[in-house]
């Protein structure tokens, strides 16, 4: 894939994912390899975020979801957690103007109640400042866990049943998924994990049921335009069958063209 494919063709490439979800892993190892303390990898990770957002904007990818901090990451040493929170705060303040320029709309997903009040306010402020932007939707998953997402959806549904708004018989997959985070956007087409591990680590559990998985050994701060383009190229060669046979999928593609 060459740079700016979507721009050059004047339309969005149909083989491009409409939603990319990324587990940005490997910041600590990246820093240690350089003889630095592991938390020094996180600011370098923010640089990589900037680059990936830029490519997604260029390619007119509608949604990008980044796993920034999991509900399990609170278990890290307090010093590292504090530094990550500090970095989150500073990045929100600093990046909002760049997001504006690129027409990026920011949304933070996860249980934000656990964050300090001033961080919660900064999140709201950044979301408000970018809410009318019509370009890329950038979803940052912070204090997010896939199980938390499913449990909070179950809780909201139970409340509706208790209020008599819906009957238990009405609960199906469609109804359930309306209560998950970002029910208004398509599920991810492409999931990328950097850092070499091949696991989901409690990221989007429900939403990744049919997502194409791509694992890279590259450490997140090194993940650049070329690496993303490689992932997109790999994605474009996959046949997504959603339970059908390969032949059925080919027939449908032929009919559509």
67 belongs to the binding site for ligand IPE (CB under 6 A): yes
Cβ-contact 245, 30 below 8 angstroms: no
Which of ligand IPE, Mg ion, none sits in contact with 201, Cβ below 5 to 8 A by type?
ligand IPE
State the Cα–Cα distance between residues 48 and 115, nearest whole angstrom: 24
Does residue 82 carry a catalytic annotation? no
State the Cα–Cα distance between residues 35 and 32, nearest whole angstrom: 5
Quick check: helix, strand or coil at residue 18? coil
Contacts with ligand IPE: how many residues (CB under 6 A)?
A: 17
Interacting residues of 5 by C-beta distance below 8 A, sequence separation 6+ = 13, 16, 59
Quick check: helix, strand or coil at residue 39? helix
Long-range CB contact pairs, 10-14, < 8 A, 24+ = 12/59, 12/60, 13/59, 13/236
Work out which of 133, 201, 224, 236 binds ligand IPE, going by CB under 6 A. Answer: 201
State the Cα–Cα distance between residues 31 and 41, nearest whole angstrom: 5
Which of Mg ion, ligand IPE, none sits in contact with 188, Cβ below 5 to 8 A by type?
none
43 belongs to the binding site for ligand IPE (CB under 6 A): no
Task: Provide the token pair at 37.
Answer: 């303390």
Work out which of 1, 22, 25, 119 binds Mg ion, going by CB under 5 A. Answer: 25
Contacts with Mg ion: how many residues (CB under 5 A)?
A: 1
Quick check: helix, strand or coil at residue 190? strand
Min. distance of Cβ 76 from ligand IPE in angstroms? 8
Min. distance of Cβ 43 from ligand IPE in angstroms? 11
189 belongs to the binding site for Mg ion (CB under 5 A): no
Residue among 13, 73, 102, 202 flagged as catalytic? 73
DSSP H or E run through 242: none
Which of Mg ion, ligand IPE, none sits in contact with 27, Cβ below 5 to 8 A by type?
ligand IPE
Find the part of the chain contacting ligand IPE (CB under 6 A) among 21-29, 101-109, 128-136, 180-188.
21-29
Build a one-symbol-per-residue string for 169-198: x at contacts with ligand IPE by CB under 6 A, - elsewhere. --------------------------x-x-
Alpha-helix residue ranges (DSSP H) falling in the chain: 5-9, 27-33, 41-58, 78-101, 117-130, 146-162, 173-177, 225-236, 246-256
29 belongs to the binding site for ligand IPE (CB under 6 A): yes
Does residue 149 carry a catalytic annotation? no
- Kindly list the residues in this chain that would bind Mg ion in the complex (CB under 5 A): 25
As annotated, the active-site residues are 25, 73
- Kindly list the residues in this chain that would bind ligand IPE in the complex (CB under 6 A): 23-29, 67-70, 73, 84, 195, 197, 199, 201
């Amino acid at each position: 894939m060459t740079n700016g494919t979507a721009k050059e063709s004047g339309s969005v490439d149909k083989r491009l994912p409409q939603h990319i979800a990324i587990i940005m892993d490997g910041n600590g190892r990246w820093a240690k390899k350089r003889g630095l303390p592991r938390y020094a990898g996180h600011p370098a990770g923010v640089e990589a975020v900037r680059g990936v957002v830029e490519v997604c904007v260029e390619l007119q990818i509608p949604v990008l979801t980044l796993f920034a901090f999991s509900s399990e990451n609170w278990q890290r040493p307090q010093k590292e957690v504090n530094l990550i929170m500090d970095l989150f705060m500073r990045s929100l303040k600093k990046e909002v103007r760049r997001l504006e320029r690129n027409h990026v709309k920011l949304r933070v997903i996860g249980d934000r109640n656990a964050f300090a009040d001033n961080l919660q306010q900064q999140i709201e402020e950044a979301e408000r400042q970018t809410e009318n932007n019509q370009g890329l939707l950038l979803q940052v998953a912070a204090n997010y866990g896939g199980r938390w997402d499913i449990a909070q959806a179950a809780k909201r549904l139970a409340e509706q049943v208790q209020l008599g708004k819906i009957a238990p018989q009405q609960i199906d997959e469609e109804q359930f998924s309306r209560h998950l985070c970002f029910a208004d956007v398509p599920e991810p087409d492409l999931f990328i994990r950097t850092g070499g591990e091949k696991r989901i680590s409690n990221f989007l559990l429900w939403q990744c049921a049919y997502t194409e998985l791509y694992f890279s050994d590259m450490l997140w701060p090194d993940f650049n335009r070329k690496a993303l383009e490689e992932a997109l190229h790999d994605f474009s060669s996959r046949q997504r069958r959603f339970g059908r046979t390969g032949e059925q999928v080919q027939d449908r593609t032929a009919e559509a063209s």
